[in-house]
Structure 1
Amino acid sequence: MKITVVGDLLLDVDINGTATRLSPDAPVPVVDVADVRRRAGGAGLVATVLARDGHDVTLVTALADDDGASHLRRALAGVSVLAGAPLARTPTKTRVRIGTHPVVRFDQGCSPAPVPSSTGAMLAAIASADAVVVADYGRRITANPDIRASLTEAARRVPVVWDPHPAGSVPVPGVAVVTPNSAEALAFAKAVGLVGSHVDAEAGGRLLLDTWGSASVLVTMGEAGAVLLRANAQPQGIPAPKTHVSDPCGAGDRLAGSLAVHLGKGLGLAEAAARAVEDASAFLAAGGAAALATAALATAAPATVGEEPAVRAAAGLGPVVELKGLELVDGTELRPDGVQLARSIRDAGGTVVATGGCFDLLHAGHARTLAAARSMGDCLIVCLNTDESVRRLKGAHRPIVSVEDRAELLLALECVDAVVVFGEDTPETCLRGIRPDIWVKGGDYTPEELPEARVLAAWGGRCVTVPFHPARSTSGLAAALAKVS
């Protein structure tokens, strides 16, 4: 899908470290800096996430000629950037964290800016898009009259999702969805004199729906989910999956981008909004914007069959479980070795993600969890229980699908890079061989409660949970099939 993101670029800098003492000069913590990471923020974050999802992304923005802009160009590798002259320096937001706890934020170059210029190529990118996301961060790219005219025309033919900003421009008429958070909805409504001090976000959003002339307004409310407002329709509440969140940064950007994708694929507004809320929750569960990898990675080649026993023995995994029909095709291994793949990704500076389970009767909940896991890093390795292991865990009637077929189905998914089969009741030995940076599980508990957390802590890995999808389970699917068999 060809997506054009229109909006303001920011440079986000994360300074991460530890603090074990106070400064002798003042009663403030001394932060021992462990690393400094720079990433594209604002519209750049929307474009980066969409590009990582595999979409053809063009970013229409303004880009200065300064040191901050050089960092942004590197961070936006893989995104086609079309930029006009901003007549202002690159706005930079620097966050200092001790562990996962924010300490302070410094803003530079964030004062009001003149309206940037536009080019014919920028306007053509808007005109040729299958969907458009407007990420307005108050730097006035959306105040450019030619860009506004192009967005107005685009809204007549493709989905346009507009993420507004209190210091930004009013959305053009006909936008499919405007996505303020609850505080923004109230601020917008009050700024134009629509509401008093005692009105909720839903009422404020309803007033803005009438004022902006958009097809709908989706007011986001953090862990409370969102409310979808449309003309001549009752408000529709959209719950957010329970998620352990350490950093909410980027949730609105992820939601707006996902919403445009789902609408561009032809989903109805209510379903697209529900999917976008789920995507934003999964994004936060993975660490939010701060967890985005910025390194460009070489593609890792699968191990050859001759190398596999030595690799696995060195990792303490023992012999591979035979999977008839999967092992060899003209001398080439069809099932990539997870240990070798993990090493290749790590050597290239990437992030290794793993998850595990029985995966008996794949369903939509599995697919969403696996896709969310893959988005957190540069490869996804699935630890899969053998048939005997499944029987011990689930009973004599399981698995319904053999390990050979379960592995083949998993590898058929684009988001799965390798499968490692294990015969124990827990994937502990697998994990020690793969040594993933992130272990992902679905569920209604915090990452610290996962039994794998202790194992990953040995090499500095972390556990992440992604939203649980109710009414989607193997047991429920098996029961339904039993009724029609």
Structure 2
Amino acid sequence: MNTPRTPLVVVGDALLDHDLCGRADRLAPDAPVPVVHGTRRSSRPGGAALAACLAASDGRPVTLVTALGADPASDTLRELLSGRVTLVEVPLEGALSSKTRVLAGDRPLLRLDDGDGRARETTGPAVAAVTGAEGVLVADYGRGTADVLRAALTTAAAEAPVVWDPHVRGRAPVPGVRLATPSAQEARAFARRLEDGRDSDEQAGLRTAARDARTLVQGWRARAVAVTLGERGALLSHGETPLLVPTPAAAAGDPCGAGDRFAATAAALLADGALTEAAVQEAVHAATRYVAEGGARALAVREQADAPEHLPADGDTTADAVRTAARVRAAGGTLVAAGGCFDLLHAGHVALLQAARRAGDCLIVCVNSDDSVRRRKGGGRPLVPVADRVRVLRALECVDAVAVFDDDTPERLLGELRPHIWAKGGDYARTRLPEQPLVESWGGQVLLLPYLDGRSTTGLARRAARSPAPATEPGR
């Protein structure tokens, strides 16, 4: 049974984003600029509206408090948000800000910005939504929404977890926020303001990020600051020795909106009662998956892929794995799948899965159900039930999703996932796998990876059985 997810209120400046995507394989004859042709135009929520949609895509009730007006961009954004989030508007003076990116493949070439509207004033419904929230995310893009609601946000921070994602054009967070999530560049800029503008020749690195985070924790009176570091992960500080949370794997793709994905995940988990360290770790993983799955441009694909016509009936993790596979394929990423019983997870398993994840952009692990393991291994197996095996696998940084199959082989599940690579241990080198023709039928590849010698679940179980039993503990 799924635990209900705590509703989240997102406060901040909504934007309207457009992408013009095409190909660029020559320069213009009259100027040394690329010629982009075959363009496709798409529109999507941006800024705080993107953060709200990302939080809602996880199945969470989300209310977006933002400034909208009577201009065409505001009307378009209202249509894009319809059915995704509950909208609470404050008045906008001027036209809604929008930006248009021109891209050649995944490479941005140019950005055009329009509209300079700002939030004019607050409203009673907006104040009520903020002060009554169980969890708040502030996506402050410096266009006034957080400013007009600053008193309400101060009240909310004393009662509920508030995550503040700042922008250099905006103000500092209100005192008492549970977590602030600046990028390294934003942290440097805000720290310089608190240091009376003193400049520094020091390159942006871990030492600088740690010092800036400590400065911001103290200067902002925040409970914690997580400085996002792109491909390096995030640095979490409570004001003392920081914690580095690395990314689970390198993710090649469009990073636009990765900060919103990070902040939305952290805010949602803190609203659910998670510890800050756990929330930041999962936020790093979510941002990495987001980039690998296509980033902001995959948002429309994501909404369509969330409800495929057929899903395996093995539980939420399998359905999530199928949706993840669809998103990665749609975004042009390389999907890797690996399979096995993974009963008593050991070093050989971990080495195999780490190598498999490095072969692509996303790793889905296919796990035999308890009945499938018993048919293959005998009545004494599995030693660990499937729910626990799934939980342990999902905790590995290299694993993006886990799917369970009940057949003797994973062929039916592979037909749902359609991975580009099916990874197996090197001990299968002299064996033709029964699923190989299926994988090759859609252009996929079977890839063998080195396997650590001498590691096996059977061997671990035998050694454990030969070990002397411990003395009985009192009261057991």
User: What is the TM-score normalised by the length of structure 1?
Assistant: 0.68
- Counterpart of 1:308? none
Structure 1 residue identity aligned to 2:165:
D
1:236-262 CA-partner distances (Å, limit 9, x unpaired): 222222222222111211111111122
- Counterpart of 1:178? 180
1:201-230 CA-partner distances (Å, limit 9, x unpaired): 222222222221111211121222222222
Q: 1:56 to 1:475 in 2, by over 3 A?
A: farther
Percent of aligned positions that are identical = 38
Structure-2 separation of matches of 1:183 and 1:55: 30
CA contact (8 A) 2:142 2:167 kept: yes
1:210 pairs, out of 203, 206, 218, with 218
Structure 1 residue identity aligned to 2:184:
S
Structure-1 separation of matches of 2:267 and 2:124: 24
Q: 1:240 to 1:476 in 2, by over 3 A?
A: farther
Does the residue aligned with 2:76 lie in a helix, a strand or coil? helix
- Counterpart of 2:54? 49
- Counterpart of 1:74? 79
- Counterpart of 1:84? 90
Whether 1:15 aligns to 2:20 is yes
1:120 pairs, out of 120, 124, 129, with 124
Structure 2 residue identity aligned to 1:242:
A
Structure-1 separation of matches of 2:94 and 2:444: 41
Where do 1:271-290 residues align within 5 Å? 271-290=278-297
What's the offset of the Cα at 1:163?
0.5
What's the offset of the Cα at 1:300?
5.4
CA contact (8 A) 1:164 1:171 kept: yes
- Counterpart of 2:200? 197
What's the offset of the Cα at 1:235?
2.3
CA contact (8 A) 2:178 2:222 kept: yes
Whether 1:100 aligns to 2:106 is yes
What's the offset of the Cα at 1:430?
6.7
- Counterpart of 1:377? none
1:77-134 CA-partner distances (Å, limit 9, x unpaired): 320011111112121111122222222221122x4x4443222111111122211000
Where do 1:35-434 residues align within 5 Å? 35-76=40-81, 77-109=83-115, 111=116, 113-144=117-148, 147-192=149-194, 193=196, 195-198=198-201, 200-231=208-239, 233-293=240-300, 302=310, 357-358=339-340, 360-361=342-343, 400-401=381-382, 433-434=415-416
Alignment root-mean-square deviation, CA: 5.0
Structure 2 residue identity aligned to 1:57:
V
Structure-1 separation of matches of 2:458 and 2:169: 49
CA contact (8 A) 2:184 2:229 kept: yes
Structure-2 separation of matches of 1:3 and 1:220: 22
CA contact (8 A) 1:161 1:177 kept: yes
CA contact (8 A) 1:14 1:97 kept: yes
What's the offset of the Cα at 1:474?
9.8
CA contact (8 A) 1:17 1:33 kept: yes
Does the residue aligned with 1:266 lie in a helix, a strand or coil? coil
Structure-2 separation of matches of 1:422 and 1:277: 34
Does the residue aligned with 1:180 lie in a helix, a strand or coil? coil
1:169-210 CA-partner distances (Å, limit 9, x unpaired): 221111111111111111112234154314522222222222
Structure-1 separation of matches of 2:47 and 2:464: 47
- Counterpart of 2:431? none
Structure-2 separation of matches of 1:248 and 1:189: 24
Does the residue aligned with 2:211 lie in a helix, a strand or coil? helix
CA contact (8 A) 1:217 1:229 kept: yes
Structure-2 separation of matches of 1:298 and 1:241: 24
CA contact (8 A) 2:157 2:176 kept: yes
Structure-2 separation of matches of 1:420 and 1:436: 15
Structure-2 separation of matches of 1:291 and 1:3: 23
CA contact (8 A) 1:206 1:229 kept: yes
Structure-1 separation of matches of 2:128 and 2:294: 35
CA contact (8 A) 2:337 2:419 kept: no
Structure-2 separation of matches of 1:132 and 1:390: 44
CA contact (8 A) 1:159 1:175 kept: yes
Structure-2 separation of matches of 1:24 and 1:351: 32
Structure-2 separation of matches of 1:52 and 1:477: 43
Structure-2 separation of matches of 1:417 and 1:242: 17
CA contact (8 A) 2:93 2:120 kept: yes
Structure 1 unpaired stretches of 5+:
304-332, 374-379, 443-451, 463-472
Structure-2 separation of matches of 1:103 and 1:460: 32
